Structure 1
Amino acid sequence: MLTPVIENIIVKYLNKEASPSELETLDFWLKDEAHLEIFKSYIKTNHLIDANVLKFDTDTSKKQLLELISKEKKVIRLKTFYRVSSYAAVLLVMLGIGYLFKDQLFVTNGEGSNPPINMVKSTIEIGTDKATLTLEDGSEVVLNKNTSYKTAYANSDGEALVYNDDDVDDESSAEPVYNVLTIPRGGQFFIQLADGTKVWLNSESQLKYPVAFAKGKTREVTLVYGEGYFEVSPSTNHNGDAFIVQSEMQTVEVLGTQFNIKAYKDESDIYTTLVEGKVMVNGAHDNTVLKPGQQSINSPNSSMVVVNADVNMETAWRQGLFSFKEKSLKDIMIVLSRWYDVDIAFANKDLEKIRFKGVLSKEQELEDILSTIKNLKVINAYEITKDAILIK
């Protein structure tokens, strides 16, 4: 039986407000197999879960839950959304459900989970690793999970493109040979450049780069548009040769660091977020040096702004997540439209302004996400056609 005391602890646990002693109590209570079933039933009935609770390995699930509770006996704040407490997250994953906080959104997809109730399956597919490689002669090669590719410069297994780690001698008369990697909507891809620099490219992005870097010259690439996470090979490994990333309105000078640049064609501002190291961001009007955890916002008609950034949120896409913090429904749908390669429009423009906090898995079915938002009573309905969605 669920007593008022235990119910209160469960509520605190789900809201990440439970104290260490309360977690100890919950830990002890869950050692009874019947209590675990009560726990599951309570979550399903009282916490806005719209999904079928699936059968799972009770012993294994309980063991995982108890281990995580025991491991994380500390106070969890309600609004720490990116680092959702692992014992709460693992339970949701094991149940294979979408879990909602009031006016906030958290969705996770369990292994082998079924679509939520009243779902209508469509042809909209989850994004995957894919890209088009344009060679120096203008010919194009399609890269995806079903292909392999190899040249004198590089090779690909369909999920990554890796260039040979050979520098070339400085020859002033020789023109560098460039390749272009284009990531379509509904895609993502990883590339390792010839100097060892690693770049993760998000949906609807394009990178131009030399197939080899000349010794004694600045290593330079261009993020033509889109979003890329750069893990730059240090200049100390290349005789002090600096590394530069060009984009439409700015230049980022690097010595050896990790950072994220977001410069989409349909967004006027460019966002550069420094994860570690040091970069100089040169804009059209001014420049700034970023420290780890800072983000520069470069606008076409105003001075550059530097703010403190949630690095985990800004780079969550590379870990297979979408992380939103006070983002409007319009902004969220723009991100989703790129990953699922679908146009999303609003029948009621007022809906575009509604804001959410939360985390979405990039492996989540889009219909699942839309159904979750609908169940919050934020939207009345959504209509899916072959390659478009209308939010009502």
Structure 2
Amino acid sequence: MISEKFQNIIIKYLNKQASFMELEALEKWLEEDASHQKYFINYVKINYLIDLNVKEFDTQLAQQKLEAFIKKEKKVHKLKRTSVFLKYAAAIVIGIVSTTYFLKDELFPTQQNNSRTLEASKSTIEVGTDKAVLTLEDGSNIALTNGNSIQTKNATSNGKEIVYSNNTSTKSAIAYNYLTVPRGGQFFIKLSDGTQVWLNSESQLKYPVSFIDGELRKVELVYGEAYFNVSPSTQHKGSKFSVINKSQEITVLGTEFNVKAYKDESAIYTTLVEGSVAVAFDKNNQKLLPNQQLKLNISNNSSSIKTIDVEDEISWKNGIFSFRKKSLEDIMKVLSRWYDLDVKFENNALKNAGFNGIIGKDQKIEEILEIIKNYGILKEYEIKEKTVILK
């Protein structure tokens, strides 16, 4: 496998941070062995969201182009003593913009008839999209899909998001709506107080169409995952904002945080991005600091707090799957929700196989499986209708 040393150099090289000595080391390493070239391509495919049409670095032309590009870079690069790792999705996207020309157009010639190119998908598994079902206070349902605009007496939607009008309620007039996002979907909602919520696949949010002025603003994450950017209490006469679910309640004044509470998982994860939150459960009250995550085991109410890279945790709302030190079982659970598919492991040992990678949510499931396979984790996979079989 590729060593950590050369992973670091490749990352710095792709972000124009590599020193002259590092570029020379990379050039020498690539010339040493054809397997190094293969590892280089696989590493870039997995970590930079680039859909390459070849599985191997095995053409003389490709090698010549890479060597020429590195030599050119060596002439213009200066030593930079800056951070070498990409921790944020935004930085990764910037890296893609600056390297796509080199990696796709310059390094790899177009191969119309390349036998190794993935064949067009014949399965019924589709990439997830913006869609949800809105349940109004009278119990009626409205399908929200991309390109389909709707308007209710309290909100408007363009099929990608729903925005509620800014108004207040009285206790006698308060009404609730539900927004349900199915498997294979995602949706954005702006509540009447200005709070922004991103809902992940297989999630449901219950909320008032308008809040009572000056009183606690409360919503319920019935199940699933949601990212909240809460409108500050200073704009609402000091009223706090609360997110409840079956096992805990989160109270904030105004902040950004992520809650993951899926029905088929044994724990609830609350991750604070900025500001502060208090999480109450079973007579306990835990306060979180930015970059901390509270894990609550719902079977026995035990809890733990750890510091994490929040960008990995919230990358889903930015169109990216970020898998760091994740088992294949956990990864497939995420993919099953986004692609609305079922997963079968023929070899149970695969469930614990580890994988690190950053992959675009707009990729076909076949492309992602091929990447995982090329990385040596899978021997084979098969797709039967909406079931993925891992071998």
TM superposition score normalised by structure 1: 0.79
Residue 180 (structure 2) aligns with: 182
Cα deviation 1:43-64 (Å, max 9, x = unaligned): 86563548436xxxx9xxx8xx
Question: Which of 22, 39, 47 in structure 1 is aligned with 2:40?
Answer: 47
Q: State whether residues 278 and 289 of structure 1, in contact with CA within 8 Å, keep that contact through their aligned partners in structure 2.
A: yes
The 5-angstrom pairing of residues 228-239 of structure 1 reads: 228-239=226-237
**Residue 47 of structure 1 aligns to which amino acid in structure 2?**
F
Q: Give the superposition deviation at 1:333.
A: 0.2
Residue 13 (structure 1) aligns with: 9
Root-mean-square deviation (CA), in Å? 3.6
Residue 309 (structure 1) aligns with: 308
Q: Does 1:124 align with 2:125?
A: yes
Q: Does 1:164 align with 2:182?
A: no
Q: Give the superposition deviation at 1:291.
A: 0.8
Q: Give the superposition deviation at 1:289.
A: 0.7
Q: State whether residues 20 and 78 of structure 2, in contact with CA within 8 Å, keep that contact through their aligned partners in structure 1.
A: no
Residue 276 (structure 2) aligns with: 278
The whole-number CA distance in structure 1 between the counterparts of 2:79 and 2:335 is 33
The 5-angstrom pairing of residues 22-41 of structure 1 reads: 22=21
The whole-number CA distance in structure 2 between the counterparts of 1:227 and 1:205 is 6
Residue 99 (structure 2) aligns with: 91
Q: State whether residues 135 and 180 of structure 1, in contact with CA within 8 Å, keep that contact through their aligned partners in structure 2.
A: yes
**Residue 213 of structure 2 aligns to which amino acid in structure 1?**
K
Residue 391 (structure 1) aligns with: 390
Q: State whether residues 347 and 390 of structure 1, in contact with CA within 8 Å, keep that contact through their aligned partners in structure 2.
A: yes
Q: Give the superposition deviation at 1:298.
A: 1.0
Distance 1:349 1:160, change over 3 A: same
Distance 1:23 1:75, change over 3 A: farther
Question: Size of the alignment, in residue pairs?
Answer: 349
The whole-number CA distance in structure 2 between the counterparts of 1:364 and 1:94 is 21
The whole-number CA distance in structure 1 between the counterparts of 2:93 and 2:18 is 13
Residue 224 (structure 1) aligns with: 222
In structure 1, the gaps of 5 or more residues are 1-8, 30-37, 98-113
For the residue of structure 2 that corresponds to 1:379, the secondary structure is: coil
Residue 378 (structure 2) aligns with: 379
For the residue of structure 1 that corresponds to 2:254, the secondary structure is: coil
TM superposition score normalised by structure 2: 0.79
Q: Give the superposition deviation at 1:25.
A: 7.1
**Residue 234 of structure 1 aligns to which amino acid in structure 2?**
P
**Residue 156 of structure 2 aligns to which amino acid in structure 1?**
N
Cα deviation 1:94-135 (Å, max 9, x = unaligned): 6459xxxxxxxxxxxxxxxx9962445122111110000001
The 5-angstrom pairing of residues 43-122 of structure 1 reads: 47-49=40-42, 51-52=52-53, 73-74=80-81, 77=84, 84=92, 86-87=94-95, 90-92=98-100, 95-96=103-104, 117-119=117-119, 121=121, 122=123
For the residue of structure 2 that corresponds to 1:47, the secondary structure is: helix
Q: State whether residues 225 and 264 of structure 1, in contact with CA within 8 Å, keep that contact through their aligned partners in structure 2.
A: yes
For the residue of structure 2 that corresponds to 1:298, the secondary structure is: strand
Q: State whether residues 23 and 73 of structure 1, in contact with CA within 8 Å, keep that contact through their aligned partners in structure 2.
A: no
Cα deviation 1:188-241 (Å, max 9, x = unaligned): 000000000000000000000000001132100000000000000001000011
Residue 355 (structure 1) aligns with: 354
In structure 2, the gaps of 5 or more residues are 46-51, 55-64, 106-113
Distance 1:302 1:246, change over 3 A: closer
The whole-number CA distance in structure 2 between the counterparts of 1:182 and 1:385 is 28
Compare 281-290 and 193-202 and name the one that shifted more: 281-290
Distance 1:75 1:19, change over 3 A: farther
Cα deviation 1:228-266 (Å, max 9, x = unaligned): 000000010000111100011100001000000000011
Distance 1:225 1:16, change over 3 A: same
Distance 1:10 1:221, change over 3 A: closer
**Residue 233 of structure 1 aligns to which amino acid in structure 2?**
S
Q: State whether residues 343 and 387 of structure 1, in contact with CA within 8 Å, keep that contact through their aligned partners in structure 2.
A: yes
The 5-angstrom pairing of residues 194-205 of structure 1 reads: 194-205=192-203
Cα deviation 1:4-23 (Å, max 9, x = unaligned): xxxxx998632548753336
The 5-angstrom pairing of residues 322-341 of structure 1 reads: 322-341=321-340
Greater than 2 Å deviation, 4+ residue runs: 9-13, 15-26, 41-53, 69-97, 114-120
The whole-number CA distance in structure 2 between the counterparts of 1:387 and 1:24 is 45
